[in-house]
Amino acid sequence: MRSPSANPHAPTTPAVTSAGSAPLQAWLTLLGLALRNLRRNLRRTLITATAIGGGLGLVLVAVNMNEGTYKAMMDTAISAQAGHVVIQAAGYQADPDPLRLVAGARGVAETARAVYPEARVVQRSRIAGLLTSPANAVGAGLLAIEPSAERAVTDTHTKLSAGEWLADDDDRGVVLGEELARRLKVGVGDKVVLMAQGEAEVSSRLLRVRGLLRTGAVEIDAGLAVTTLACAQAFLERPDTANQISLHLPSAEGTGPMAASLAGSLARAELEVLDWEQALPEVVEFIRADRVNNAVTMGIIGIIVAIGVLNTVLMSVMERIREFGVMLALGLPPRQIAALIVLEGTLLGAGAAAAGLLLGVVLSWPLVTYGLDYSDMLGSESFETAGVVISSTLFATWDVGGMAGWTLAAWLMTILSTLWPAWTAARLSPVDAMRHV
Amino acid sequence: MPIVSTRQLHRTYLQGEGEVHALDGVDLDIEPGEFVALMGASGSGKTTLLNLIGGLDRPTRGEVQVDGHALGALSSGALSRLRLDRIGFVFQAYNLIPVLSARENAEFVLLMRGVPADERRRRVDATLAAVGLEGLGDRLPSALSGGQQQRVAVARAIAGAPALVLADEPTANLDSRTGTELVEMMRRLNTEQGITFVFATHDTKVEERARRVIWMEDGKVQRDERRG
Ligand SMILES: Nc1ncnc2c1ncn2[C@@H]1O[C@H](COP(=O)(O)OP(=O)(O)OP(=O)(O)O)[C@@H](O)[C@H]1O
Ligand SMILES: [Mg+2]
For A344-383, what is each residue's pLDDT tens digit? 999 999 999 999 999 999 999 999 999 988 888 877 777 8
CA B183 to chain centre: 12
What is the Cα gyration radius of chain B?
A: 17
Q: What is the dihedral of CA A381, A386, A388, A394, to 10 degrees?
A: -50
pLDDT digits (tens, 9 = 90+) for A83-102: 899 999 999 999 988 899 99
Q: Mapping DSSP to helix (H, G, I), strand (E, B) and coil, where does residue A249 land?
A: coil
Distance from CA of A326 to the nearest CA of B (A): 6
Average pLDDT over residues A144-169: 91
Residues of chain A with C-beta less than 8 angstroms from the C-beta of B60 = none
**What amino acid occupies position B190?**
N
How far, in Å, from the CA of B226 to the mean position of ligand 1? 26
Of A14, A24, A322, the CB nearest to B113: A14
Query: What are the extents of the domains in chain A?
Result: 22-74+284-435, 84-278
User: Counting atoms of ligand 1 from 1, which one is nearest the CA of B40?
Assistant: 21
Helix residue ranges, H only, A370-399: 375-378
Would strands A85-89 and A120-132 be described as parallel, antiparallel, or unpaired?
unpaired
Q: What is the pTM of this model?
A: 0.82
* A-B Cβ pairs (cutoff 8 Å, strict): 133
Tell me the CA–centroid distance for residue B159 and ligand 1, in Å: 30
Ligand 1 proximity of B40 Cβ (cutoff 6 Å): yes
Chain B contact for A3 (CB, 8 A cutoff): yes
CB contact (8 A) between residue B83 and residue A33: no
B187 exposure class (CB count in 10 Å sphere: 0-12, 13-18, 19+) = middle
Least confident of A232-236, B139-143, B203-207: B203-207
Question: A233: CA distance to ligand 2 center in Å?
Answer: 104
Q: Please name the amino acid found at residue A157.
A: H
pLDDT at residue A10 above 60? no
A14 to chain B, minimum CA–CA distance in Å?
7
What confidence category does residue A425 fall into, taking pLDDT thresholds of 50, 70 and 90? very high
Neighbours of A414 (CB within 10 A): 27
User: Quick one: average pLDDT of A126-155?
Assistant: 91
Distance from CA of B195 to the nearest CA of A (A): 7
What is residue A375's predicted lDDT score, i.e. its pLDDT? 82
**CA–CA dist A64, B165 (Å, integer):** 62
ipTM comes to: 0.93
Terminus-to-terminus CA distance in chain B, angstroms? 21
Asked if A13 lies within 8 A of B160 by C-beta distance, the reply is yes
- B1 with A4: Cβ contact below 8 A: yes
- Ligand 1 centre to CA of A120 (Å) is 89
Q: What is the pLDDT of residue B57?
A: 93
Which pLDDT band holds residue A13 (cuts at 50, 70, 90)? very low
Cβ-count burial A183-221 (b if 16+ within 10 Å, e if not)? bbebeeebebebebebeeeeeebebebbbbbbbbbbebb
pLDDT over 70 percentage in chain A: 95
Residue B33 φ/ψ region, left for φ over 0, alpha for ψ in the -120 to 50 degree band, beta for the rest: left
pLDDT at A340 over 80: yes
Q: Which domains does chain B have, with CATH numbers?
A: 34-58+76-226 (3.40.50.300)
Nearest atom (ligand 1) to Cα of B202: 25
Nearest 5°: the CA angle A30, A34, A38 is 170
Q: For residue A349, give how far its alpha carbon lies from the nearest alpha carbon of chain B (Å).
A: 21
Is A327 near chain B, with CB under 8 Å?
yes
Is the confidence at residue A115, as pLDDT, over 50? yes
Measured by CA distance, the residue closest to atom 7 of ligand 1 is B13
Chain centre distance of CA B167: 3
Checking if the pLDDT of A16 tops 80, the result is no
- Report the residue from B68, B91, B123 with minimal CB separation from A326: B91
**Ligand 1: does its nearest atom lie under 6 Å from the Cβ of B75?**
no
B92 close to ligand 1 (CB < 6 Angstrom) = no
**Ligand 2 centroid to residue B169 C-alpha, Å:** 7
Strands A202-213 and A244-248: unpaired
Contacts 24+ apart (CB under 8 A), B120-129: B123/A11, B123/B159, B123/B160, B123/B161, B124/B155, B124/B159, B127/B155, B127/B158, B127/B159, B128/B102, B128/B103, B128/B155
Residue among A86, A80, A76 at smallest CA distance from A242: A86
pLDDT given for residue A3 in this prediction: 42
B40-51 residue pLDDT tens: 999 999 999 999
Out of A11, A16, A431, the one facing B82 most closely (by C-beta) is A16
Which element (helix H / strand E) includes A281?
A: helix A281-319
CB of B162 shorter than 6 A to ligand 1: no
Residue A21 near chain B (CB below 8 Å): no
Cα torsion at A62, A68, A73, A75 (round to 10°)?
Answer: 160
